[in-house]
Amino acid sequence: MANHSQLVGGSSAGRFVECPGSYAQIIALPPQPDSTSIFAEEGTFAHAVMDTLARKRKRSNTTNMRNDAEKLLGTKVYDREVTEKHLDELIHPAIDRLIELENRYHGGFKVAAVEARVRFPGVPAFGTADLLLVSNSHLLLVDYKFGVGVVTATYAEQDGERLNPQLLFYLTAARHTLPNLFKTGMRRPVVAIIQPRAEVQLTHTEVAPDEITQFEEDILRAVDLALGHNPPLHRGDHCKWCPAKTICPKWVGPIKELALLGKTPEQRREMASKELTPFGEYLSRAKTLATDLVEFTKELDAQLKAYLEDGGYVPGYTLQAKTKLRQWIDDDTVERALINLGFPDDAIWQRKLQTFKVADAAAKRLGVKIPDHLRVAPPTDETVVVRSDEAIAPIERPLLIDGFAASAARLSRKG
């Protein structure tokens, strides 16, 4: 299969609509080496297992994917053998959430397509839809995420909810590529994320046809801007995975500002106040710039490492083997040696409760539910600093000067 379009794809659609100029910044970068990780490889494996099960379901027209998954135990899929742990932590939860999703939309679904290569209308770009299911009333576009980063079908914003742009990209492309599945008035489209490692493993939403049309228009408008003269750059949350942050003026500019800010730091010359003060304004600006620097540094480190691993030369920096923490050679050898040294049993072994994840998997196997009261969040008096627009339960602290004044008044009355 050909590589996905460098112009726009499912994973970059949200950023591309918000920042058409990012395309010019990215193609200005030197070629980036392909990179992977053990988590990405595990995700590819889990996708391959789910694809195998869906294709079998399509051929046999059955829905008992759990039994089919059990039959894969011990067989090799993609690059590894399917184990009980894979089934407990990844495959069975994904199947259970898929069953839940189908039941939410009245059941009766059949597999329409697996790993469908879908082309976006009007531009040389395509994506891959993990699973398309159809019933008489609905079409489900399902996207599996097997990583630990939280991904949802919708995102909360100040003025309401925003649909996941990656899912909208796949849905728009699917409507263009497979129009027979989208007969007007026949099936209502639904997009869903199934993520076994997330706390909320299933998120989904119905999508109105005009939302698909609007998204198509947004992408086409962004293409015109991206390929035009001086395409606009906009900075925001969509920049998170953009590889061009190290050269983007919207990111490099604030780094220069931080350097200037550091030359003439504002000093605290007044008491804390609920009104805007020079020191409060300074803290806000400095914290925002420092946060930008952290993100900038992460991106710079990743590109520096990739460039060196690809054989490049960077003055003042080189690669070396990563230092790993030492570990016991193996349990039996260590146990015998420590017993010979006079260690008591409780100094060799420890007993502790399993993690939530392991316990949840066991509960599903046993067909029981762990009572909610067994898992509690400990109380805390500690606070952390977050952006005002990201605060879940903001805390308002009284001014210290008010506390001093109240104490002074009480003392005065006593006198």
Whole-model pTM: value is 0.67
Predicted confidence (pLDDT) per residue in 229-262, tens digit: 999 999 888 887 788 887 888 887 766 776 666 5
Residue 405 inside a domain? The answer is no
Cα–Cα distance measured from residue 16 to residue 239, given in angstroms and rounded to the nearest whole number: 10
Comparing 414 with 22, the larger pLDDT belongs to 22
Looking at the structure, tell me whether residues 168 and 293 fall in a common domain: no
Residue 194 inside a domain? The answer is yes
Cα–Cα distance measured from residue 124 to residue 385, given in angstroms and rounded to the nearest whole number: 44
Looking at the structure, tell me whether residues 271 and 342 fall in a common domain: no
Average pLDDT score over residue span 181-193: 87
Looking at the structure, tell me whether residues 143 and 273 fall in a common domain: no
Residue 323 inside a domain? The answer is no
Residue 236 inside a domain? The answer is no
Looking at the structure, tell me whether residues 157 and 191 fall in a common domain: yes
pLDDT at 202 over 70: yes
Predicted confidence (pLDDT) per residue in 80-132, tens digit: 999 999 999 999 999 999 999 999 999 999 999 999 999 999 988 889 999 99
Find all residues with CB under 8 Å of 106, minimum gap 6, and list them: 135, 137, 138
Looking at the structure, tell me whether residues 54 and 143 fall in a common domain: yes
> Phi/psi at 114 (nearest 5 deg)?
-125, 130
What are the Cα distances from residue 62, in Å, to 68, 107, 187? 10, 13, 21
Looking at the structure, tell me whether residues 265 and 343 fall in a common domain: no
- The helix (run of H) or strand (run of E) holding residue 127 is strand 126-134
Q: Residue 95: which of 121, 63, 65 has the closest Cα?
A: 65
pLDDT band at 158 (very low <50, low <70, confident <90, very high): low
Q: Residue 215: which of 51, 359, 361, 16 has the closest Cα?
A: 16
Cα–Cα distance measured from residue 114 to residue 50, given in angstroms and rounded to the nearest whole number: 9
Say if CB 193 and CB 204 are below 8 A apart.
Answer: yes
3-state SS assignment for residue 261: helix
Looking at the structure, tell me whether residues 368 and 258 fall in a common domain: no
Give the number of domains in the chain. Answer: 3
Residue 392 inside a domain? The answer is no
Question: Quick one: pLDDT at residue 319?
Answer: 85
Average pLDDT score over residue span 174-180: 94
Cα–Cα distance measured from residue 105 to residue 99, given in angstroms and rounded to the nearest whole number: 10
DSSP letter (8 states) at residue 240: T
Question: Quick one: pLDDT at residue 34?
Answer: 61
Q: For the chain, state the CA radius of gyration.
A: 27
pLDDT at 404 over 60: no
pLDDT at 184 over 70: no
Question: Quick one: pLDDT at residue 36?
Answer: 63
What residues does 111 pair with on adjacent strands? 133
Assign residue 54 the CATH number of its domain: 3.90.320
3-state SS assignment for residue 143: strand
pLDDT at 415 over 60: no
Looking at the structure, tell me whether residues 56 and 141 fall in a common domain: yes
Residue 124 inside a domain? The answer is yes
Across the chain, mean pLDDT equals 84
Looking at the structure, tell me whether residues 367 and 260 fall in a common domain: no
Average pLDDT score over residue span 68-89: 93
Looking at the structure, tell me whether residues 297 and 165 fall in a common domain: no
Residue 89 inside a domain? The answer is yes
Average pLDDT score over residue span 216-222: 94
Residue range(s) defining the domain that contains residue 297: 245-309
